Amino acid sequence: MTTTDTHCPYCSLQCGMRLNETERGVVEVVERPAFPVNRGALCGKGQTAAALLGPAHRLTTPLMRERRADGGRGPLRAASWTEALDRAAEGFAALQAEHGRDAVGVFGGGGLTNEKAYLLGKFARVALGTRNIDYNGRFCMSSAAAANRLAFGLDRGLPFPLEDIERTRCLILVGANPAETMPPAVRHLRRLRDNGGTLIVVDPRRTRTAELADVHLRTAPGSDLALALGLLHLLIADDLVDDAFVTARTTGYDRVHAAAMAHWPERVERLTGIPVSRLRTVARMFGKAATGMVLTARGSEQHSKGTDTVGAWINLCLAAGKAGRLHSGYGCLTGQGNGQGGREHGQKADQLPGYRSIEDPRARAHVAQVWGVDPRTLPHAGRSAYELLDTLGQPAAGTRPAGLRGLLLMGSNPVVSAPRAAHVTDRIRALDLLVVGDLVLSETAQLADVVLPGTQWAEETGTMTNLEGRVVLRRGAVPPPEGVRSDLRILRDLAERLGAAHGFDDDPRTVFEELRRASAGGPADYAGITYERIQAEDGVFWPCPDESHPGTPRLFLDAFATPDGRARFLPVTHRPPAEEPDARYPVHLTTGRVLAQYQSGAQTRRVPALDSAAPGPFVELHPVLAHSLGLREGDPVQVTSRRGRAVAPARITDTIRPDTVFMPFHWPGAGRANTLTNPALDPVSKMPEFKVCAVRVEPARERDGAASATAAPAEGAGTPTGSATASGNRP
């Protein structure tokens, strides 16, 4: 038996695990008790992670699709690597020759290793020379990232280790459900309470996490910004502002004070649905606690005002003196496995490695020197994720520029995960050339012209950066199936065919060494982090500017990362969601995840144990709403928004507000929740408003049952199309 210490392939905890491979080639996941993040604990997804390592569910050969003379599309067929790579590179080159460099783009994923994310950004800007690159992490914590940079001058999901959570005296958890999304982290919440601390959960649903809370605030969807402003108002009214901290370590308080005064308790009660008495109780709990934290997640961030909402919670921490101090502060629970590192090193439209701005001349010069190119050749910022997807295949019209004609997509499944997903599917179909790199035939890969099968977590080595800013080493344990190549090799092979042979290595250690140099001196400085240090120290926290530096588990204890060292209050005011209920669409829809599935489900839906635990979509609704519609448990429910409609069985529960329905977003077909969601964008972060839109709920007609494979059009919404049957939830 061979044993390899590595990390889970799923969420941003990056839990430590150990893989045992027997002489018969069977791979088993076992505990790794010494790793500090999870101390051996694993959720069901981690425990079954080895199920996809065999070839049964995998892509093991490249696939290609022929385009007919009449414009039709033939079926995908097996192809050689030479044939597939030639088709991709020649197609991209031809499109750029005809339509310009920016006619081809790149769309990445938050699960890619740091090495892959880094090389993918370099590939876009050097091999393709395009400004159009972004990634699905834009849909994860971009609003928190934007607010962190504005307030603190630096963005790291948590500015402290997870273990600090259990030592704080009062924790407000906003729009987060770690009991289902990252269960090994829940031990910190339990220990917080065991230590005498207070847990306050803000969520429209009584989730498994909310059941652990001392106080659960069941807010109206889209009202978290008003709640934070109202709590700050009460801190001021009750003389609980830490004036000494505000004076010594912050700027801009006066403008925030004025905004908070406009959000008096009775107004906030009307906006949020939370009684004034509860608001007062929570404000005093937080304000009087010796230490305190606010942690947000997608429930409060995936809004068209997500940056302002996070900014309001940061303001509350600053006013209470609960930031930049031990066991206090604001943090974001990053979702995807490498959502943190994936955006630090070049996948985002506006960023270069090291979390540098692509518009900063000094940053451009530094990275260009590492890459051996003229900084004048580097493209400038491109479109954000949804903006990029929204324009795929569109011709120029009036002042609107032409959209992309070709796309390289790696490690993402926007057919299921993007907002207004039926429209995005149509846009993907309109491309002249779609090349997808993935380990399974996802719903998006099914639409591709070229599919390139890549290695996965246990078959390759590379670094990941978890939600704490801890850089860990995921080590290869088993060889990949014959016919599969690493993503680094795929990028190298494509770059060579595009005339950029120099600087694209497929050895992860070599790529990481270059990443260290490229990040040196930047906000996310990895210069002092090595593979050897990571293994010896259970990970290294960035920033770490040199090999003698210990790393930085806790940020901001001495100063914030702003030019003057002070945190900035962010003046914000409440505004409603982009779309509110009305007579035609009288109910809120909110979306989220379930314990047994992950993201678009492309991997977890193929694991029998997970699929049987959560076999398909559902619509969660309150008994009062169900009774008014004549619905019983399990009845097919039609949910209609201005963008389309979805059908799934009813799940009736009093854990949700009567004015709200909930749908998980892991499935394609008729029950695809993202057929309904609103792509209204936050003006700063460009985050779509996944978490709230207006819908109509009614019993499904027989012809709209769950066997349907398409999302029917809503009024004025066009004709959205699905991509897979819903009955089996399989490609």
Classified as helix, coil or strand, 376 is helix
Q: Residue 508: enclosing H or E segment and its boundaries?
A: helix 508-519
Classified as helix, coil or strand, 135 is strand
Report how far residue 154's alpha carbon sits from residue 340's, in angstroms, rounded to the nearest whole number: 12
Report how far residue 165's alpha carbon sits from residue 159's, in angstroms, rounded to the nearest whole number: 11
Percentage of the chain modeled with pLDDT above 90: 90
pLDDT of residue 17: 97
Tell me if the pTM is above 0.75: yes
Q: Residue 117: enclosing H or E segment and its boundaries?
A: helix 114-122
Specify whether the backbone of 687 is left (phi greater than 0), alpha (psi in -120 to 50) or beta: beta
Tell me how many degrees the CA angle 239-241-245 measures, rounded to the nearest 5. 145
Long-range CB pairs of 120-124 (<8 Å, 24+ gap) are 120/346, 120/347, 120/410, 120/487, 120/491, 121/345, 121/346, 121/347, 121/352, 121/353, 122/346, 122/371, 122/503, 122/504, 123/408, 123/491, 123/494, 123/495, 123/500, 123/504, 124/346, 124/379
pLDDT by residue (tens digit) across 102-119? 999 999 999 999 999 999
- Which residue in this structure is represented by tokens 């659960």? 216
Beta bridge partners of 172: 200, 294
Percent helix, strand and coil across the chain, each rounded to 5?
35, 20, 45
Q: Strands 73-78 and 63-67, how do they pair?
A: antiparallel
pLDDT by residue (tens digit) across 344-392? 999 999 999 999 999 999 999 999 999 999 999 999 999 999 999 999 9
DSSP assigned state of 128: I
- Cα 31 to chain centroid distance, Å, stands at 27
No. of helices (H) and no. of strands (E), the chain? 23, 30
* Amino acid, res. 194: D
Contacts of 72 (CB under 8 A, 6+ apart): none
Closest CA relative to residue 25, chosen from 3, 59, 48, 1: 1
pLDDT of residue 701: 83
Hey, what domains does the chain have and what are their CATH numbers? 2-57 (2.20.25.90), 63-139+337-460+489-506 (3.40.50.740), 142-333 (3.40.228.10), 587-704 (2.40.40.20)
Q: Residue 147: enclosing H or E segment and its boundaries?
A: helix 142-152
- Which residue in this structure is represented by tokens 């829809």? 589
Closest CA relative to residue 472, chosen from 421, 555, 529, 548: 529
List the chain residues with pLDDT less than 70: 702-731
pLDDT of residue 18: 96
DSSP labels, 12-23: TT--EEEEEE-T
Query: What Å distances lie between residue 607 and 21, 591, 723, CA to CA?
Result: 19, 23, 20
